[in-house]
Amino acid sequence: MLNRHARGFFTALFTPLARWLLKIGISPDAVTVIGTAGVVVGALVFYPLGQLWWGTLFITAFIFSDVLDGIMARMRDTGGRWGNFLDSTLDRIADGALFAGVAIWFFTGGADYAVAVAATLCLVLGMVVSYARAKAESLGFTANVGIAERAERLVSVLVVTGFTGLGLPSVVLLVTLGLLALASLVTVIQRIVSVRRQALAETTATD
């Protein structure tokens, strides 16, 4: 998928910056927090004001912190459960803010309730996708299956939202959000089915 294929490229691109930030004393956790704050500001300040293009540019400037902090953690060999927890938790905040910002604008000044509802569905289902995996893993199962990975969701909504701000018909954004919501729903079902199969196999093995 997109995030796997692009990982090598972005690692090479951001490694010099990661090395420099570590040199001046910036920690991976600080980059994670700053990046999330930037995304939240872009999504919940620019988008509700109807500044879809400039909001997208602002968010894009911070969104790659998710790659940068990982590179820095590997360089310092400080990755681990804490970093993973912080990164995953703040990712959910950033994702929620992104779809919430789109929904707020189209419920208000954008006056397109269909787009607003689709964005809200993406927000809710995206949270369930993440929760399903986290809950499964907390119970000793695996649930890393699914067609709606985070990278695809972010790239799709950012690109189309940005160009909507430049005049792209909002129906394109509606279709994009609808497909993302559907993909998230399918992913939730896939994860439920996967965990159910593991639970049944576990029960059979103990009989």
Which of 66, 87, 91, 112 is labelled catalytic?
Answer: 91
C-alpha span between 140 and 196 (Å, rounded): 12
91 is known as an active-site residue: yes
For the chain, the first-to-last Cα distance in angstroms comes to: 39
Encoding tokens for residue 186? 């399918």
The owner of tokens 């709606």 is 148
| Buried residues in 104-140 as b, exposed as e (16+ CB within 10 A) | bbbbeebebeebbbbbbbbbebbeebbebbeebeeee
Q: Which residues are catalytic?
A: 91
